[in-house]
Structures are given as structure tokens and as C-alpha cells.
Amino acid sequence: MLQSSKDDGGAQAPAIVLREAYSAPAFWIDTVDLCFDLDPAKTRVLNKMTLRRNPDVPAQALRLDGEELNLARVLVNGQGTSFKMDGDKLVLENLPEGNEPFALEIFTTCNPGKNTKLMGLYVSNDSFFTQCEAEGFRRITYFLDRPDVMASYTVTLRADKAKYPVLLSNGNLVEQGALEDGRHFAKWVDPHKKPCYLFALVAGQLVAREQRITSRAGKDHLLQVYVRPGDLDKTEHAMNSLMASVAWDEARFGLPLDLERFMVVATSDFNMGAMENKGLNIFNTKYVLANQATATDVDYSNIESVVGHEYFHNWTGNRITCRDWFQLSLKEGLTVFRDQEFSQDLCADPSARAVKRIEDVRVLRTAQFPEDAGPMAHPVRPDSYIEINNFYTVTIYEKGAEVVRMMQTLTSRAGFAKGMTLYFERFDGQAVTCDDFAQAIADANSDSPLAALLPQFKRWYSQAGTPRVAARGEYNAEAKTYTLHLSQSCAPTVGQPEKLPFVIPVSLGLVGAQTGAALPLQLQGTTTASDSYLFVLSQASESVTFENVAEEPVPSILRGFSAPVVLDFDYSDAQLLTLLAHDNDPFNRWEAGQRLALRSATAAIASGNTSGVLNDAYIAAMRAVLRHPTLDAAFKELVLTLPSETYIAEQLDLVDPQRIHAVRDSMRLQLARALFADWEWAYAEHQDNGAYRPDPLSSGRRALAGMALTFLCLASTESRDAVWPGKTLQRFKDAGNMTDRFNALQALVSAGHAHAAPALARFYSQFKDEALVLDKWFALQASAPDRGGNVLPAVRQLMTHPDFNLRNPNRARSVIFSYCSGNPGGFHRADAAGYVFWSERVMELDATNPQVAARLARAMDRWKRLAEPYRSAACEALKRVAAKVDLSNDVREVVERALAD
């Protein structure tokens, strides 16, 4: 289906873009002078460029990208010229010959008020915003819309002064003033060359929190966070996060802020989280606005990492950008790695760092591993795509970050920093490739295993799929040696039937099986020992032997999750309990608990017996963790969280979502009941009465208290005991911050207690004017545990609520995605009604916003592993969507890949 051929209707099938087909642009655009007359119904754009032919490319016509534009005029060196249209492209054949620069002037209009795709120039709440990455600039003017064309921009904005008092674009404000008829203008010059995907403008009624800072080098900068009037009291945390980001990049990588003014603007209509436009980041309000009354600890921490992420793009992405979109992970993987490191470095103690690492790995495993095993599997550097927006994936972002992390592991923290310095020395101001990046890191570390194995290491960029590492241990009690045998494999993925071995850094430790002591690791043939050892697995199978191993060890393998692989080791329950109690690597300590729970879950799913799933030893171990005198509360909360339904499903060849749901529910109830007194203790012990602070320590305490409340409500509701539900309702009413309030509400909803309905009603009336809080209210109901099929009717009802708005991506996600992707027990219905709902919503959304629709379409990625009757019903729903005639390329690519053999 994916060939570029005519289909039955005679329409052109979507074109496949191939990485191998890259060729340099035939023209360079050196300068761009844009003048906007902003009007929601008809915005006029005058685009004056200087171009020159690329001498390295044979002479040819200029083919400019455009989309949904009305073309009024084209002038070359001030003269009218002939042009033609080839589909959406504007083709100019009669351009001056030779390599001299020439002027091209293009005048177009567009309709931002009708732009429901939220790509290009659009209107949100009576203000103008832009989103150009990946290919939105062509919806603003005709251009070479590709990241390797970098130009200097001057932008003049003109608009009605009363309606649009604030006029912003990239760079520095050089001039502003009044015009006739109540209009005004502002002129901006960006001192840095940039690809057009980093262009931005904003115009509207906005107010800013401002902060002046001085860099280490003594330069002054102005930081601004723009929001709607009334939201200023929610900008302090974003500003603090921005200041922390500026300081961190200077301290850790020697990368200073390169602009006099750095602006962040929030909008409530945004397709994703945020966008790193040069000097003018545009954010979803969800990742800017927070105060303790409206935002939870999780919101605070997301804001910190997204503000960091976009800021770090200023160097990794903006100063050095991607040659083409296949190199997307060059900026995204690296920048995710940087924001992860930033959040970890902000943690005061090692256990909080470990918590962040575990959270990141949880995302990787529950979202990226399934992607790697499903129909949309692609390498970190893909080889082809139909719609690039479909490739802003967890593979490009999170697996890409793991690849960069492995480079750091193989070169050391200091070595990696040296590599980054070399990368900027070589490529600052250029559009480059993933190969260029890896080469720079390796060249700066010529003695490292990365340099020795670079071509093989780069298979992480070219081969899709999650490798599996199988390990087996042998202890020789007489010789006091321990040998670990490791082998690797990787299942075929779409278009890649055979895989070659990867370079896999395996961080190792040994824990005494009897004593629980950390055993020193002394590699055979060496004389020194250390607490852990980095083994670099590069062959299909290899072994490593340690000497002077005093007692039989339990191996602690893949410490800190040193590589994005699945580890198979046939641990006994006793061994896992030893690691859970004693491993000094917190990641593997957590992992041991997850393995134990997973083992019980899969056994119960196989046998169909849902009672008494967890054994006494596991429960005792969980009690010991919960009551542990020194472990951090956030870490305890992670250990006591059972593996998610999605993660459990990933371990099975045949997935019965209802069975998984029933087993996990029963495990939760068992934990609630067996540890009832411990949960009461934990709740009492983790109350904070001081001022609210969203730091890791206090948010960990709130998270554990919230978990305790959830379990207490659950057990009490089942046994019809009114005490804890009553206390929870009181907590909900009295809470001094949104985290505690929402945790209490969630506890009542997830227990299905009668107090839930009045609490939800009260919550709504209290927060009906807070859009982001209403999103939580919608999402909580759409992801509530299903009881007798009640969630789907509730979701349909929510869609008729006066505050529901399909056009607002946050609201659509809070209801539709929360149900289809976040509520497996409610979604996978034997009567197929969940899938019918999904297909209706995908088609409905596709008509206005294909990008958001294509995200929703991904909810069915793993349909082929479903048991009957789910499998056939899912297939039918996919076919229904695929059969729609005017489907976008975005959704078509996703559903056709899902249906392909």
C-alpha cells in the first residue's frame, strides 16, 4: 500500500520520503525580510528574500514549498516574472543565471482564523501564534521549507494596537511605533541564522513576568514569560526553571545564553508540549502555568523538565541543527538526555536522582519498547517516512536519549563533556547528521570503548527493535570465581529481518546471596577490585569472570539501566528478594520488586486464578520497604507501584486485556488489605504541615501519602467501612494544595466510592474557570476503573459537556486519549464499543487536526497480539478508518502500517 502509485480512485498515493534520497538544496536563502499585516480572516504576508544558486548542485528551477496559501505576486529583482504551480509547489524557472545573489519577493495571504491544524499561523483565544516545526512555515509563505536552509530573519509585525498590544518575533526588538487607523508595528531582527522551522511570531493581549540575569561571562540578559492577563501568579515556577536551565547549561557544558532577550509564551491551543523557536519559545500552558492551588507536584516537575528541554535546544537543535528530518534524534535524543541530566542534577541527594532515572525508564519501557515491537517500529534514525509528524516518537526522543546516555557511559561524564565541546567547535552554525555527532564524541575520546567500537555502536541508530540480553551465572565455590555468560539477540522489525550485534554497556555488581553484602568485583587476571564493573558486550555471546568472590553472589546486572534492552536472567524469588533488600544500586533494587510482581501477575494470567496472586514473601518485602527507616518516600512509592497493565501486556504473546485488568486489580486489593495497618502508618507519617514546596523530597512524601490513601479507600470501600472514605473526603475538602486535593479525589474515584460523585461535582464548581484543572477533572473520569462497562457511556457523556471542546488538543486528550490509551480495562470491551468510539474519534479529529488524530490512531498499534474477540474487532475498526476516502497522510500512514502484514 505504501508505494507511490495511483490508487483505485485515481488520487496520488502519498509519497514516501527516503533518507538515502537526500540532496543538498539547489538554492541558498541568505536573508528573509517578512512583513505581516495580521488579521484573523486574511493575514497578508510580504516575503522579501535574497537567494543564490548552490554552486555544488546542477542548475535547476527553484521549487518552493507552500500549503493553503493565496498567491498574489512574485517579483524577481523587482520585476514581475513567470511562474507555475506543480501541486502545492511554486516553481520559478526563469531566474538569473550565475552565482550572484538575487532578490525574490512573494506576496501571499492566509486565513489564521480557520487554521484548525494549529500548524503555521493560527489564532488561539484571540491571539496569533505560530508552529512551524516540522513543515509549518510553508503554511505562512512560499519557502525552501527544509532545515538545512539557514537564513537571517528580519520580521515586521503590523496589527490593531488595542486587540494585539504585544507583537513578538525572534531575536531583538529594533523598532516599534504607531501606524494609522489604530494600528501599530514592531520590527524584530534575529542575530542568528536559523532554519525556518524555528521562526515564530506571537501577537495578542499578553503580560510578562520579567527577570534580568547576568551570565558567568558578565553579560546581561532579559528573561520573559508571557501569559494571558490573570495568569501572572502562575509563572514563578516556569521562570525559576528557566533561570536554573540557563545556569545549568553554562555550568555543565559551558554553553551560555547567546541572546539578549529570551522569551517564553504560553498558549492553551497547542498540538504538543512546547516549541524551541529561537529566542521565542512557545509553550502549551500545561508546561508553564502552576501555583499550588491548581498544579500538582507532577505538573511542577514536568514544567521544570520541559522548560529545560526547550531552553537546551537553544544549542542542541538551534545553533547546530539537523541536516534533514531523518536526523531528528540528533537534536531530540540529545536534548532529552540533557533535560534528564538537568533534572537529576537539580536533585539534592542520590536517591532522588535514582527516582528520576526509574521514572524515565518506566516511560521507555511502557511506551518505547511497545513501539519498537509494533507496526510503527523504526530506527532512531529512520530510513523513510510519509508524514514526518508521525516520527516525533518515543523512539526518536527517549530511545535516542538512551543512545546518547550510552555514549556518556562509554566515555565517562568528563569525556562526554569534552565530546560536546568538540561537537560545537566543529559544527556550530551548521545543519548536520547523527553521524557527525557520534564522530565528534568518539574523536574527543580516542581511548574509549566508544572510539574502538564506533561503527558497530552506530547500529543503535540504524537498527530498530529492542535487543534482549540473556544472562546466566556460574559460581565456583572452590576457586571462588563467578562467571557471567551473556548473549544478545534482537527480534526482526518491519523491513529489518536480521540484526547484527549491538554494543551494549552492561553495568554489573555482585551481592552476597547469604549476607546481602556488596561483593568487590575483581576481573580475572587483574589485581584491583571495585564495587561495580562496566562490561561492554559487543559479540553475540561473551563471558566475564570475577575472582575472589567470597560467597555465592546474586548478580546485579544492567545497573542504572545502562542500556535500553530487555534482560533475561532466571532469578529465583529468593535472589530477587535479596536484591530488593540489599542491592546498593537503587535502580536494580526497584527492578527486583517489579520482577517479583510481574512473575506473580503472569502466572495468575496464565492460570486464570485471580485470588491470592501475591505471595507472603512479596507482601512481607513490600511491608519492609514501606516501613524502611532510611529509604526515601518517592523511592518507596515507586517500589510499591505494581507494573502497569501495558507493561504486563508487553510480556505476553497473547493479550487478554480484561484478564490483565482483573489480575492487577486483585493484586492491588491484596496489597491494600494485607498492608492496611502499614498504609495507615504511612499516611500519618507522611503529612507535611509546613509551606508547600514542590521539591523532590516533599513531593515524594505527598506521593506516598496519596498512595496510602488510595489503598486505604480501596480496602475500606470493599469492606464497607466508612472511616477512610470519610477521612479522604475531608482531606479532599481541606487540602492546602492541588497535589493532596487531587490525590484524595483520585482515591475516591478509583475506589468507586459513593463519595466520588459529590466530590467530583464540588471539584468542578471550584475550578470551572481553570482550564488546566478542568482537563484533570475530565481525564480522571475518562481513566476511572471500569465497573460493568460504565466508563464508555461516561466518556460519551463528557463529550457533550459544555466545557468539552474537540478543537482544543488538551481537552481532546484529557477525555479521548485518557480513555483510549490510558484506560485499557475500560477501552478493550468484548462488545467492541471502545474500538468503535476510537474509530469515530480518529475520523472526526482528522477532519480538523490530522496531527492529533494520528496520535490517537496509535492507540491500536498492538492490536495483533490481542486475544479474540478483541483482535477481530480491533481489525475491523482499523479497516473502517483506513477505508475513509479523504483521510490525511498522517492517519493513513499509521493505520496502514498497523494493518500491513
By annotation, the residues acting in catalysis are 310
List the single partner that 389 binds among Zn ion, ligand B3K, none, CB under 5 to 8 Å by kind.
Answer: ligand B3K
Q: Looking at residue 138, what DSSP letter applies? A: G
Minimum CB separation from ligand B3K for residue 900, in Å?
A: 23
Q: Between 193 and 232, how does the x/- string for binding to Zn ion read (CB under 5 A)?
A: ----------------------------------------
List the single partner that 855 binds among ligand B3K, Zn ion, none, CB under 5 to 8 Å by kind.
Answer: none
Minimum CB separation from Zn ion for residue 335, in Å?
A: 5
Instruction: Give me the sign of the Cα torsion angle 875, 880, 885, 891.
Output: negative
Q: Which residue's CB is nearer to ligand B3K, number 242 or number 613? A: 242
Minimum CB separation from ligand B3K for residue 389, in Å?
A: 4
Report 619-678 residues binding Zn ion (CB under 5 A).
Answer: none
Minimum CB separation from Zn ion for residue 442, in Å?
A: 24
Count of residues for the chain? 901
Residue 291 backbone dihedrals phi, psi, to 5 degrees? -140, 170
Q: Which residue's CB is nearer to Zn ion, number 287 or number 571? A: 287
Minimum CB separation from Zn ion for residue 332, in Å?
A: 5
Instruction: Give me 697's grid cell.
Output: 523530597
List the single partner that 76 binds among Zn ion, ligand B3K, none, CB under 5 to 8 Å by kind.
Answer: none
Name the residue number minimizing CB distance to ligand B3K: 133
CA atoms within 13 A on the CB side of 354: 22
Minimum CB separation from ligand B3K for residue 221, in Å?
A: 21
Element (H, E) at 166: strand 166-169
Minimum CB separation from ligand B3K for residue 313, in Å?
A: 6
> By C-alpha distance, which of 416, 401, 410, 418 is closest to 452?
410
List the single partner that 299 binds among Zn ion, ligand B3K, none, CB under 5 to 8 Å by kind.
Answer: none
List the single partner that 351 binds among Zn ion, ligand B3K, none, CB under 5 to 8 Å by kind.
Answer: none
Show the 3-state SS of 851-875: HHHHHHHHHHCCHHHECCCHHHHHH
Instruction: Give me the sign of the Cα torsion angle 342, 347, 350, 356.
Output: negative
Question: Cell 532466571 appears where?
Answer: 570
> By C-alpha distance, which of 341, 270, 330 is closest to 305?
341
> Can you state the percent helix, strand and coil of the chain, rounding each to 5?
45, 20, 35
Minimum CB separation from ligand B3K for residue 272, in Å?
A: 5
ω before 869 within 30° of 0 (cis)?
yes
**C-alpha span between 612 and 647 (Å, rounded):** 21
Element (H, E) at 280: strand 280-284
List the single partner that 416 binds among ligand B3K, Zn ion, none, CB under 5 to 8 Å by kind.
Answer: none
Minimum CB separation from ligand B3K for residue 722, in Å?
A: 48
List the single partner that 275 binds among Zn ion, ligand B3K, none, CB under 5 to 8 Å by kind.
Answer: ligand B3K
Q: Which residue's CB is nearer to ligand B3K, number 257 or number 729? A: 257
Q: Which residue's CB is nearer to Zn ion, number 400 or number 415? A: 400
End-to-end CA distance of the chain: 11
List the single partner that 637 binds among ligand B3K, Zn ion, none, CB under 5 to 8 Å by kind.
Answer: none
Evaluate whether 373 touches 650 at the Cβ level (below 8 Å).
Answer: yes
Evaluate whether 264 touches 226 at the Cβ level (below 8 Å).
Answer: yes
List the single partner that 237 binds among ligand B3K, Zn ion, none, CB under 5 to 8 Å by kind.
Answer: none
Q: Which residue's CB is nearer to ligand B3K, number 238 or number 735? A: 238
Q: Which residue's CB is nearer to ligand B3K, number 66 or number 850? A: 850
Kindly list the strands in the beta sheet with 89-92, ordered across the sheet, starting from the edge strand earlier in the chain.
Answer: 62-64, 89-92, 84-86
> By C-alpha distance, which of 53, 150, 152, 154 is closest to 101?
53
**C-alpha span between 98 and 80 (Å, rounded):** 20
> By C-alpha distance, which of 267, 443, 245, 407 is closest to 330?
407
Q: Which residue's CB is nearer to ligand B3K, number 303 or number 621? A: 303
Cα dihedral 202→205→211→213 (10° resolution): 20
Q: Which residue's CB is nearer to ligand B3K, number 133 or number 740? A: 133
List the single partner that 445 binds among ligand B3K, Zn ion, none, CB under 5 to 8 Å by kind.
Answer: none
Evaluate whether 30 touches 51 at the Cβ level (below 8 Å).
Answer: yes
Q: What is the three-class DSSP state of 486?
A: strand
Q: Which residues of 63-82 are buried (b: 16+ CB within 10 A; e: fewer)?
A: bbbbbebeeeebebeeeeee
| Residues at the site binding ligand B3K, with contacts judged by CB under 6 A | 133-134, 272, 274-276, 309-310, 313, 332, 389, 392
Report 322-341 residues binding Zn ion (CB under 5 A).
Answer: 332, 335
**C-alpha span between 695 and 346 (Å, rounded):** 10
Q: Which residue's CB is nearer to Zn ion, number 282 or number 729? A: 282
Count of residues that bind Zn ion according to CB under 5 A: 2
Minimum CB separation from ligand B3K for residue 392, in Å?
A: 5
The partner residues of 496 in beta bridges, in order of sequence, read 493
Please give the C-alpha separations between residue 751 and each of 299, 448, 637, 702, in angstroms, as whole numbers.
Answer: 24, 53, 19, 19
Q: Which residue's CB is nearer to ligand B3K, number 287 or number 742? A: 287
Q: Please report, as ranges, the residues that interact with Zn ion according to CB under 5 A.
A: 332, 335
